[in-house]
Structure 1
Amino acid sequence: MDMDRVVASVVSQCGHCEAGHCVGDQFVIGQTTPPGMCSWAFYTLYPFAQVLQFGGSFPWEPDAAVSRVACPDADNPVVFELRRFHSPER
């Protein structure tokens, strides 16, 4: 089954991110942690990315192709915007 492409972009970052993520960083989400991405952040956003990759959406998001997910560091949160890009095969 063809999956849509999902890109995670850092849209906000407060405090000190141990992984060094900054606003504007982008990662293409696949089946494994992208190079340079914090594994804790990846494990948190991966279920949301899977929904988007297979054409799903979240009823609380105003845009069906987007979801915002924060990393689990409550003291230094990094917020990622996940955006779906339809694959040409779908």
Structure 2
Amino acid sequence: MKVIIRVVSQKGICNTGHKPGDEIIVTENGVEGKICLTALYSILPKAFAVLYDAKFPWIKKGQKPRHACPDSENPVIFELEKVE
């Protein structure tokens, strides 16, 4: 099992260079791909929740969880998807 974290939008200038379509993979054993530490530290709890089938009551059926990078001046929006 793994969670694919995909960049769906980016505005401003991301110092790490994230752009739509970029993917990061999270497994029980680590992280593959390039992601800044600020975004990683903020998204890991949600990634592990998705990995272990947590239910988010505010996400409608068919939607994937999203996560915003904490950099409000240069926001990056990530989408999380669990795959086998």
Runs of 4+ in 1 over 2 A off after TM superposition: 30-35, 63-66
Distance in 2, matches of 1:33 and 1:39, equals: 11
User: Relative to total residues, which structure has the larger strand share, 1 or 2?
Assistant: 2
Query: Is residue 10 from structure 1 mapped to residue 4 from structure 2 by the alignment?
Result: no
Deviation at 1:63, TM superposition (A): 3.8
Of residues 57, 66, 69 in structure 1, which corresponds to 2:67?
69
CA 1:47 to 1:16, structure 2 compared with 1: closer, same or farther past 3 Å? same
> Superposed, which structure 2 residues align to 1:10-89 within 5 Å?
10-30=7-27, 31-63=29-61, 66-85=64-83, 87=84
Of stretches 22-31 and 43-52 in structure 1, the one that deviates more from structure 2 is: 22-31
Deviation at 1:55, TM superposition (A): 1.2
1:6-33 per-position Cα deviation (integer Å, ceiling 9, x unaligned): 0000000010000000011011113444
TM-score by length of 2: 0.87
1:28-81 per-position Cα deviation (integer Å, ceiling 9, x unaligned): 113444332111111111100111111112111114772100111001000000
Distance in 2, matches of 1:53 and 1:21, equals: 23
Structure ID, larger Rg: 1
Instruction: Tell me how large the CA RMSD over aligned residues is.
Output: 1.7
